[in-house]
Amino acid sequence: MSPNAGRSAAKGKELESGLILRIAVFGDIVGRSGRTLMLERLAGLRREYALDFVIINAENAAGGFGVTPRICEELFEAGADVLTTGNHAYDQRADIDIFNTEPRLLRPANFAPANPGRGSGMYQDREGRNVLVIHVQGQLAMMPSDDPFAAADRELDGVQLGREADAVIVDFHAEATSEKYGMGHHLDGRASLVVGTHTHVPTADDHILNGGTGYITDLGMCGDYDSVIGMEKSEPLRRFVTKISEGRFSPAAGPATLCGVIVDTDPKTGLATDIHAIRIGGRLREQAPAA
């Protein structure tokens, strides 16, 4: 038996015995292409990788702009536990009340307090373990919002990793890589995983920080990569070349790639023990941990 096979078998026994809490987080779903592949594959991925908890960023799921109650329900039925959003959270104006009625759907915690919805929640996996999910949005090159670092601290107040929460996952929806790294280091040792979303391009820096927090600058998107960050190419290219808009952006409709990470955490400490990028389908080179 190879050393890799031995490690895989040992990891499998730890998963079966509950010694590992395994969580997957997927990047922004963009349009029908990304949504369809997620709905087709998520249940199988939960089984194949023994996922205990799944978080998906769904802010571009409805035609590239926002999310609807029907899409939320489809994703929950497929196996999502929590949905995050970002700067496009409220784009589907007719459906904005879902942020008040669906506790598993989060908007950034540093939005104005009067805005619909909530920015964090304590949820349970199927074994009854507590997973705190926190969603914040960056300030650099983004729409105005309150201080995301203070908001993250506020959401963590009174919650000790490994005690009140078996895992803490933070979706930092931000443009600047520097701000994302700053958030990772700011929360190192206090969160199980800090992931960046928003730029729709997966980064190759998934690793565990010095204090035990898993980190990646951007998960990438779940959508068609034969595009301009998920959008059909003609209109973005026209605007780049001519500076003239001739219509709305529309999501690219080709084969999608699912992008995200899988993190293993130690429920005793809540800290990350392993992190793997995952890319499935579409144009990008596939990558996944051993099942």
* Three-class secondary structure of residue 169 per DSSP: strand
Let me know if residue 269 belongs to a domain.
Answer: yes
Rg of the chain (C-alpha set): 18
63 and 84 Cβ atoms separated by less than 8 Å: no
How many domains does the structure of the chain reveal? 1
Phi, psi angles (nearest 5°) of residue 153 = -60, -40
pLDDT at 60: 97
Neighbours of 158 (CB within 10 A): 7
What would the two tokens of residue 264 be?
A: 């293993």
Inter-CA distances, 211 with 47, 48, 85, 191, 274, Å? 30, 29, 27, 9, 13
Q: For each of the chain's 291 residues, which pLDDT tens digit applies?
A: 333 444 454 455 555 546 899 999 999 999 999 999 999 999 999 999 999 999 999 999 999 999 999 999 999 999 999 999 999 999 999 999 999 999 999 999 999 999 999 999 999 999 999 999 999 999 999 999 999 999 999 999 999 999 999 999 999 999 999 999 999 999 999 999 999 999 999 999 999 999 999 999 999 999 999 999 999 999 999 999 999 999 999 999 999 999 999 999 998 999 999 999 999 999 999 998 887
Q: Which of 88, 135, 173, 200 does the annotation list as catalytic?
A: 88
**Residue 265: domain span:** 21-280
Residue 265's DSSP bridge partners are: 21, 272
DSSP type of residue 231:
B
pLDDT at 11: 55
CATH number of the structural domain spanning residue 40: 3.60.21.10
Strand order, beta sheet including 53-57: 82-84, 53-57, 21-26, 258-265, 272-280
Let me know if residue 43 belongs to a domain.
Answer: yes
* Three-class secondary structure of residue 167 per DSSP: strand
Let me know if residue 286 belongs to a domain.
Answer: no
162: left (phi over 0), alpha (psi -120 to 50) or beta: left
Length of the chain: 291
Please tell me the pTM assigned to this model.
0.93
Q: How many CA atoms lie within 13 A of 80 on its CB side?
A: 24
Let me know if residue 289 belongs to a domain.
Answer: no
Let me know if residue 119 belongs to a domain.
Answer: yes
Let me know if residue 16 belongs to a domain.
Answer: no
CB under 8 Å to 39, separation ≥6 — which residues?
Answer: 74, 75, 78
Active site residue 88: yes
- Cα(229)–Cα(165) distance, integer angstroms: 35
Let me know if residue 4 belongs to a domain.
Answer: no
Let me know if residue 288 belongs to a domain.
Answer: no
Phi, psi angles (nearest 5°) of residue 137 = -125, 145
